[in-house]
């Protein structure tokens, strides 16, 4: 189980990408308030670039590879709650938060390519250049004002694996009482 903040970051990233870009067509079709997100992550193979693995001490690399092999193809699920205001949707606030997360992940340069967008759906390719190049293909869809789903596929250049994430978010209500 991933910590709630991880699932929340995935949802925030999905909203961050969708809200400002979909807003160019119409407002993103989602209600402000409390949202609950279930995130399912499946890692296959070894997503760490070979060049990074080569820099690890042999014993650490062996433990890492053993750990990745043991969980490869097995889903990991997390649930989190997040509060989104109308301003979060309209003023790109989640986009700014996600940019701060990218700094933590050493994303030196980010390029977004919109493949499809509407008021309820966005398909986007994001390339992040850090110490290696990471490519993410994301689709975010507001299936109604109270339900948002997303799917993300992430690959790292020079690796032999990938990460797939699915999120399903449901609106809990207008009140964010008790949600940080």
Query: Is 63 domain-assigned?
Result: yes
Query: Is 179 domain-assigned?
Result: no
Query: Is 178 domain-assigned?
Result: no
- Is pLDDT of 14 > 90? no
Query: Is 30 domain-assigned?
Result: yes
- Is pLDDT of 167 > 80? yes
Per the structure, the count of domains in the chain is: 1
Q: Look at 5-9, 39-43, 152-156 and tell me which has the smallest mean pLDDT.
A: 5-9
The 3-state DSSP class for residue 89 equals helix
Query: Is 47 domain-assigned?
Result: yes
Rounded CA separation 99/106 (Å): 10
Residue numbers of the domain that contains 63: 4-173
Strands in 27-146 per DSSP E: 33-46, 76-84, 109-117, 121-129, 133-144
Query: Is 133 domain-assigned?
Result: yes
pTM of the model as a whole: 0.75
């Amino acid at each position: 189980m991933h910590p709630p903040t991880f699932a929340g970051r995935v949802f925030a990233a999905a909203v961050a990408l969708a809200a400002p870009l979909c807003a160019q067509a119409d407002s993103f079709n989602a209600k402000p308030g409390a949202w609950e997100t279930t995130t399912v992550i499946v890692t296959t193979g070894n997503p760490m670039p070979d060049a990074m693995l080569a820099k690890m001490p042999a014993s650490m690399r062996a433990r890492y590879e053993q750990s990745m092999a043991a969980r490869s193809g097995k889903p990991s699920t997390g649930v989190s709650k997040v509060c989104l205001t109308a301003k979060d949707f309209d003023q790109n606030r989640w986009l700014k938060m996600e940019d701060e997360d990218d700094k933590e992940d050493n994303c030196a340069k980010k390029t977004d390519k919109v493949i499809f967008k509407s008021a309820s759906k966005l398909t986007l390719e994001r390339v992040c250049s850090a110490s290696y190049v990471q490519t993410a293909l994301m689709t975010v869809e507001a299936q109604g004002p109270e339900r948002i789903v997303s799917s993300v596929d992430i690959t790292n250049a020079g690796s032999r694996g990938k990460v797939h994430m699915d999120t399903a978010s449901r609106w809990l209500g207008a009140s964010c009482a008790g949600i940080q």
